[in-house]
Amino acid sequence: MHGHISSPATFIKTFIILLILMAVTVLVATKDLGWLNTPIAMAIAICKTAFVVLFFMGLKYSSRLSQVWAGVGLLFFIILIGLTIPDYLTRHDLPGWSE
Amino acid sequence: MSTETQEHDPLLAHQFEDVEQQTDSYVLGMWVFLVTEVLFFGGMILAFILYRNMYFPAFAEAHQKLDWRLGGVNTIVLLTSSFTMAMAVWASQKRDYGKQLMFLTITVLCALAFLVIKYFEYSAKFEHHLVPGTNFHFDGQNQNGVQLFFGLYFALTGLHGFHVLVGVLVIGVLMFRVWKLRKQEQDYVPTELVGLYWHFVDIVWIFLYPMLYLLGGVHI
């Protein structure tokens, strides 16, 4: 939406939420949760990113085209990571594969 | 012709229909740039994920050599700078240029604080022979994996630190511009665009901090 002005209250709330999430991510890292540590840390980071993108960067109030481009960035990143990792994780299982 | 020129908004460049189209175009251009940045950092993050998976014991051991407290302080410093950057955009939209300059000053000070802390972290790594190369020294059987970790650590944080440095310069130029034109009405979009870049740099750190400093466990 053109000319939208976010209020400082929104920014202060976002800032506080980000600091809380930062404390949570450190707290979780002090506990040994086995394989769960990595997904939890990444989930918190994604959550923090969502708050920064939507409110600090104001994507929530940007033009549709900007929102689509932000989505494109996310999509490309998912393709980059999501297609490469399964390849590396599974190529050893293939018959005929050698290092 | 001259009357038509006078009717024009002084903030509107002639190639645009109206200010709304102009603002949307500028913001869109910045988002396109940020998408290329996502892939720029994405490739290195992908390399980190793969090598972490291949040499997990070494990476877990190497990560203990990083000071999660300093990294945490840096996270808070960058989050604060992102907040003040958002406030600077707000002040610019309200055409309160004094406040805007104040918020931008705090943002730059936070960025410099980040770089100073990073400098101390890097110095410690040089002192402890943890910088990859001929001076690298690490006792134990995982030394090759540890060296790989520090190679990625310096590449990722170095590239991020360079972005912080560029941010300081860009915000500096913006502040000079805002100060020079403080007596007249200004477009808030330059501040908005610098803000978008700065928040992106913050997001990169939001991922680098848990990846490098926290994963593998933290001991208080």
Residue B9 counted as domain residue: no
Q: How many domains does chain A have?
A: 2
Residues A71 and A86 in one domain: yes
Residue B202 counted as domain residue: yes
Q: How far apart are CA B75 and CA A22, in angstroms?
A: 8
Residues A16 and A49 in one domain: yes
Residues A32 and A54 in one domain: yes
- Residues with Cβ within 8 Å of residue B7, at least 6 apart in sequence: none
Residues A16 and A43 in one domain: yes
pLDDT at A99 over 80: no
Q: How far apart are CA A96 and CA B8, in angstroms?
A: 70
Residues A32 and A71 in one domain: no
What DSSP string runs through A37-88? HHHHHHHHHHHHHHHIIIIIS-GGGS-HHHHHHHHHHHHHHHHHHHHHHHHH
Q: How many domains does chain B have?
A: 1
Name the residue facing A65 among B28, B199, B210 (closest C-beta).
B28
pLDDT at A3: 66
Which residue range forms the structural domain that includes residue A10? 1-61
Residue A30 counted as domain residue: yes
Q: How far apart are CA B115 and CA B121, in angstroms?
A: 10
- On chain B, the residues whose CB falls within 8 A of the CB of A50 are none
pLDDT at A1: 41
Residue B163 counted as domain residue: yes
What DSSP string runs through B138-154? --STTHHHHHHHHHHHH
Mean pLDDT of B192-203: 97
Min mean pLDDT across B78-87, B95-104, B207-216 is at: B207-216
pLDDT at A26: 94
B90/A5 CB distance under 8 A:
yes
What are the tokens at A59?
A: 């994507």
CATH of the domain at B92: 1.20.120.80
Predicted ipTM beyond 0.85:
yes
Q: What is the pLDDT of residues A51-83, one digit of tens each?
A: 999 999 999 999 999 999 999 999 999 999 999
For chain A, how big is the Rg over CA atoms in Å?
19
Q: What is the pLDDT of residues A9-51, one digit of tens each?
A: 999 999 999 999 999 999 999 998 888 999 999 999 999 999 9
**Chain A within 8 Å of B17 (Cβ-Cβ)?**
no
- pLDDT band for position B1 (50/70/90)? very low
Give the DSSP letter of residue B214: I
Which residue range forms the structural domain that includes residue B61? 17-214
Residue B12 counted as domain residue: no
Residue A99 counted as domain residue: no
Residues A9 and A37 in one domain: yes
Residues A8 and A37 in one domain: yes
